[in-house]
Structure 1
Amino acid sequence: MAEVKLFGNWGSPFSGRIEFALKLKGVEYEFIDEDIYNYKSPLLLKYNPVHKKIPVLVHNGKPICESLVILEYIDETWEKGPSLLPKDPYERALVRFWTKFLDEKCVPTLWKTCWSIGEEQVKAKEESTELLKILEGTLSDKKFFGGDSIGMVDIVANFISYWFIILQELAGLQVLTKEKFPKLGAWIDDYLNCNIIKENLPPKDKLTAYFRARFEAAAAAAAK
């Protein structure tokens, strides 16, 4: 059997993407939990010397870095299980477009909204709302971004479905709500109710405690 290892972090939405994909494909793997803030293991630095970050998938001793690249590799390497990308070249191009949009636009802006203050937060909230409107329109009447089943865009959007909901609550924000974005709200429910996704999410209480501690540390630092 092929040896598969995933260098990740229990609370990271980026390594979570890879775990969800591997689980959906039925691929057995070993998970190596990295302390990404305090200590990066020699193996992680060896396998990802350029960016020095997670996730890194190691397949038969060969490392693959960057979550979007890893997801495509998983889909092309293990044909069993559901396809993460469509076969049609145009549809595949659309998937790459939206995953890049999520990573380069949505995730950084939503993250900034929760951690900034004052005018910077107001601006980030406005930008986040506009980006979420685009995603709402993209969903249209589909259950998932790719249609009737979970695909690569859904997996890449996992930060929005789970991590951001926790963060906005801790920050006292209501940027993404079912009232404002009913289609995204329905998508979140369908995505999180998928057994494989639900069973492999980081525990909500643990993730909430982790982010709360970071909020408190940031507030204490700002008060000095």
Structure 2
Amino acid sequence: MERGGDDLKLLGTWASPFVIRVKLALSFKGQSYENIEEEDLYNRKSELLLKSNPVHKKVPVLIHNGRPVCESQLIVQYIDESFNNTGHSLLPMDPYERATSRFWAAYIDDKLCHLSPHGILVYTLVFAFLNGVWSNLLIDASHMLQLFASVFQGGKAKSEEEKAKALKQTYTAVETLELAFREYSKGKPFFGGDSVGYLDIILGGMIPVVHYIEAHYGIKLFDSTRSPLLKSWMECFGTLDATKSVLPSVESLIEYSKMKQARAAASAATN
């Protein structure tokens, strides 16, 4: 749990892409930590979570020597700066390159993970996976923002036209990210070049969900036609020793989704 006098605790849920990001950063920085799993974020948040993140009440939260740090991107940056003597730097040293890395990290969250129309499809599918909700839901804004953390509310069924539009927009976002990877990797295997960098960590948290969406829904977000570089990146990233111990398998996600579905069905039957 402790390394070099540092006491690190991570509050999270193992299937969350945002929590996985933090675990990846800690792994690449060689940091040991105590993993504290939040069992039921929607109905029974822990007192430690409510105390550590009283504003948003969501995971991940990294507690470093008793002081909480919230929001996955900020946590990854904090880890990089706090443990700059271990491992290589995740963010570039050049101020301009650091700024552009943060720009593309925001793009990933906006277009693939969060609330823009581009991200709604992915979030809807992931919500169904995490919560066992298998009807086609259009999740409202508060629902999306609290996908892995807070109280959720249902919405109305999406039309086939809306779903097709969301899928097209998501693919467009992936193609834009493919061009960014081509520019920043400069023919190397990672966004960071020869070694894993900040953007690899940010997007790397999405890899288990990308595999799950493909296995469960037959939707390939990264493929050899639309995004061959990202597909190769994903395969390469998943083989690294620092990622193998962090990224959950698609089989474990499928089993988890079945469990959630069974619980949702049982709850519906008793109500």
User: How many pairs does the alignment contain?
Assistant: 220
Task: Give the superposed CA RMSD.
Answer: 2.1
Contact 2:191 2:197 in 1 (8 A): yes
Contact 2:13 2:19 in 1 (8 A): yes
Work out which of the residue numbers 176, 184, 192 in structure 2 matches 1:146.
Answer: 192
Work out which of the residue numbers 73, 79, 104 in structure 2 matches 1:74.
Answer: 79
Q: Closer, same or farther in 2 for the Cα pair 1:186/1:215, shift >3 Å?
A: farther
- Provide TM-score, normalisation by structure 2: 0.75
Q: Percent of aligned pairs with the same residue?
A: 42
TM superposition shift of 1:106: 1.6
Contact 2:8 2:32 in 1 (8 A): yes
Q: By percentage of residues, which structure has more helix?
A: 1
> 1:88, 1:170 → 2: CA distance?
41
Unaligned 5+ segments in structure 2 are 129-135, 137-157
> 1:213, 1:19 → 2: CA distance?
24
> 2:220, 2:32 → 1: CA distance?
38
Work out which of the residue numbers 191, 196, 218 in structure 1 matches 2:242.
Answer: 196
Secondary structure, in 3 states, of the residue corresponding to 1:147?
coil
Work out which of the residue numbers 82, 106, 129 in structure 1 matches 2:171.
Answer: 129
1:58-137 matches, within 5 Å, as 58-79=63-84, 80-108=86-114, 109=119, 110-112=121-123, 114=125, 117=158, 118-137=160-179
Deviation digits for residues 5-63 of structure 1, max 9, x if unmatched? 01011111111111111111111110000122332100100000000000000011100
> 1:94, 1:49 → 2: CA distance?
31
Deviation digits for residues 46-105 of structure 1, max 9, x if unmatched? 000000000000011100000111111111110111211011100100111011011111
> 1:154, 1:113 → 2: CA distance?
24
Answering whether residue 178 of structure 2 is matched by residue 173 of structure 1, we say no
Q: Closer, same or farther in 2 for the Cα pair 1:128/1:159, shift >3 Å?
A: farther
